[in-house]
Chain A
Amino acid sequence: MLGALGAVRLARAQGVRDAVLYKNPQCGCCEDYAAYLRRNGFRVKVVATHDLDAIKTQNHVPERLNGCHTTLVDGYVVEGHVPVASIERLLRQRPRIRGISLPGMPQGSPGMTGVKKEPFHIYEIDTHSSAEPRVYAIE
């Protein structure tokens, strides 16, 4: 455990952020999103699982904020095809929330096919998920 923490600290010092991305074993867009994160300086471990539902529950992602895959990075949950600018801001500012989500699978978002048709609304995944989700960013 200490070894793993040590590795994370070392990676952070080197400017590499570790992420674990949980995905459906047959879904391709999640792989494309992992590649997008890698291009942007993340070291991504992809884990295929049939238990995505449980992973979302464990990480307090409410159903209305569900995206395709779930990524854990530096203590935060990043749900769905969130653009990297919002993740960078999250990790820099470290707000007291569980994470952020771009719900659904919007066309033109990172890793998705198609053309962006409207601004992406990225929401906070809050500690009390019963509340109406707050917008974290519009990209």
Chain B
Amino acid sequence: MHWHGVRVPNAMDGVPLITQPPIAPGGEFIYEFVPPDAGTFFYHPHQRSYEQVGRGLAGALIVDEREPPKVDRDLLWVLGDWRLNRDASIRGGFGSFMDASHNGRVGNTVTINGRVPNEFLARAGERIRLRLVNAATARVFGLAFGGHRPWIVALDGQPVEPHEPEQGVIVLGPAMRADLILDMAAAPGSRHSVRDGFYRSLEYELLKIAYGNEPPLRKRAEDPFRLPANPLSEPTIQNAERHDVLFTGGMMGNMSAMRRGMAWAVNGTSGSCGEGTSAFDPLFVLRKGRSYVLNLVNDTAWHHPIHLHGHSFRVITRNGRPAKYREWLDTVLLPPREQAEIAFVADNPGDWMFHCHVLEHQAGGMMACIRVT
């Protein structure tokens, strides 16, 4: 079991063949760690994950702040995506090359906390902390809360300067999380639509917000709060050692990897290390305690949420421009043909997976490892 985003000791990271033997049916493995950071995290197996997660083995892991900020409700939406038959059974065909070489196994049914959502009941004037977790293997969400102006206060479990999302749309790739402040500022009795418009021409309504008729809890919303910082090591960018990481492959991309039956590659190699392979050829060996900048280049026609285990990193630039919020993430979404620089202190020794979290892409070769020694 992998504790996504939680900076655990390497032996607790839950990657079969790298940090532990797989847990056999009926077997057990005791995970024991003290989570260093408060925030919204996620857990899932790292064994045949495109199918195990695709069939629902994933959940949220919430670490409370010592003094959680005051809200009226603290809610969790685990976003799921399923490819179902007409009788609502899960369709087979996991691991098809078609899915692996395109945008993964995007499904036909979206759920919140395991159910197809209908209405979300709200009271005028209340302040909600809404924790979003994208537990899908492949679907990217682009959520717009019609008639509302949510603030983002944390990303991937790490506090960020409170800000409104660009164009009001919260974009979450697989495994990404966001903590929102949602002030229910509309009128009692009103109804609003939460829509997901990430895939052009396939926009749909995720659910309706339905306000009760009670009078507003408060007249106007307070300023958004800042979450207390977690104890992360600040990288020193000037002295950081730099590495380039090039992601290639997929449909409409470089086909050389495809001919070998793998759709994707990291720095020219498919699946040099990671889940489901006994190969071990780390991409980089990093020295413990040093700062690093990785220049991530998506040279493909597809989105890739790139996840580093064991560390959170700062996004310092996107496409050559300084990142506005220098957010701490554990999974950075790289749109097609785009680039991002991430910086972190390699302060957690061990062998860590570094991979695309479209799990069909990961299985199709877009995974590597980084060794911190």
Q: Does A84 contact B (CB under 8 A)?
A: no
Report if A24 contacts B (CB, 8 A): yes
Q: Decide if B201 touches A25 in the complex (CB within 8 Å).
A: yes
- Say yes or no: A25-B202 contact (C-beta < 8 A), given A50-B107, A53-B96: yes
**1/0 contact trace for A22-46 toward B, CB 8 Å?**
0011111100000000000000000
- The answer to whether A53 and B102 touch (CB under 8 A), given A27-B252, A28-B252, A28-B301, is no
17 contacts between A and B (CB under 8 A): A25-B199, A26-B301, A27-B102, A27-B251, A27-B252, A29-B252, A48-B199, A48-B201, A49-B202, A50-B108, A53-B83, A53-B91, A53-B93, A54-B91, A54-B108, A66-B96, A66-B97
A54 to B99, CA, bound (A): 12
- A68–B250 Cα gap in the complex (Å)? 12
Known: A53-B93, A105-B251. A26 touches B302 (CB 8 A): yes
B286-313 to A contact mask, C-beta < 8 Å, 1/0: 0000000000000001110000000000
Which DSSP category, helix, strand, loop or mixed, fits chain B's interface?
loop
In the complex, per-residue mask of B36-60: 1 if CB is within 8 Å of any chain A CB, else 0:
0000000000000000000000000
Name B residues whose Cβ lies closer than 8 Å to a Cβ of A. 83, 91, 93, 96-99, 101-103, 106-108, 199-202, 251-252, 255, 301-303
List 20 additional contacts besides A49-B202, A53-B96; criterion CB under 8 Å.
A24-B103, A25-B200, A26-B102, A26-B103, A26-B199, A26-B302, A27-B251, A27-B301, A48-B199, A48-B200, A48-B201, A50-B199, A51-B83, A51-B108, A53-B83, A53-B91, A53-B93, A53-B99, A68-B98, A107-B255
Chain A proximity of B248: nearest CB distance (Å): 14
- Tell me the bound Cα distance from A28 to B103 in angstroms: 12
Q: How far is the CB of B97 from chain A (nearest CB, A)?
A: 8
For the complex, give the distance between the alpha carbons of A27 and B106 in Å: 13
Q: Can you name the residue of chain B whose Cβ is closest to the Cβ of A26?
A: B103
B255 touches A114 (CB 8 A): yes
Instruction: State in angstroms the CA–CA spacing of A25 and B142 once bound together.
Output: 15
A129 interfacial by beta-carbon distance below 8 Å: no
With A24-B103, A105-B251 as known contacts, state yes or no: A50 contacts B202, CB within 8 Å: yes
Asked if A90 is at the interface (CB within 8 A of a chain B CB), the reply is no
A127 within 8 A of B: no
A50 and B106: CB pair below 8 A?
A: yes
CB distance from A48 to the nearest CB of B (A): 5
**CB closest residue in chain A, given B200:** A25
- Chain A residues near B98 (CB, 8 Å)? 52-53, 66, 68
Q: Find chain A residues with CB under 8 A from B99 CB.
A: 53
- Min CB–CB distance A103 → chain B (angstroms): 10
- In the assembled complex, the Cα of A54 lies from the Cα of B302 at a distance in Å of 22
Bound form: Cα–Cα A107–B252 in Å: 10
Give CA–CA (A54, B92) in the complex, Å: 11
- For A63, the chain B residues whose CB sits under 8 A away are 93, 96
Q: How far is the CA of A138 from the CA of B162 in the complex (A)?
A: 60
**For B107, what are the chain A residues with a Cβ–Cβ distance below 8 Å?**
50
Bound together, the chains give a CA A29 to CA B108 distance in angstroms of 22
Q: How far is the CA of A29 from the CA of B322 in the complex (A)?
A: 33
What's the nearest-Cβ distance from chain A to residue B4, in Å? 24
The reply to whether B255 and A29 contact each other, CB–CB distance below 8 Å, is no
**A50 contacts which chain B residues (CB < 8 A)?**
83, 106-108, 199, 202
CA distance A114 to B256 in the complex (A): 12
Please indicate the chain B residues that have their CB under 8 angstroms from the CB of A48 in the complex. 199-202
Specify the chain A residue showing the minimal Cβ separation from B140.
A26
Complex: chain A residue closest to B81, CB-CB:
A50
A-B pairs, 6 with minimum CB distance? A25-B199, A50-B106, A48-B201, A24-B102, A51-B108, A25-B202
Whole-angstrom CA separation of A26 from B337 in the bound complex? 13
B residues within 8 A CB of A68? 98, 102, 251
Closest residue of chain B to A114 (Cβ to Cβ) is: B255
Q: Which residue on B lies nearest to A28, using beta carbons?
A: B252
Q: How far apart sit A48 and B199, CA to CA, in the bound complex (Å)?
A: 9
Q: Specify the chain A residue showing the minimal Cβ separation from B103.
A: A26
Cα A138 to Cα B124 in complex, Å, equals 67
Cα distance A107–B251 when bound, in Å? 11
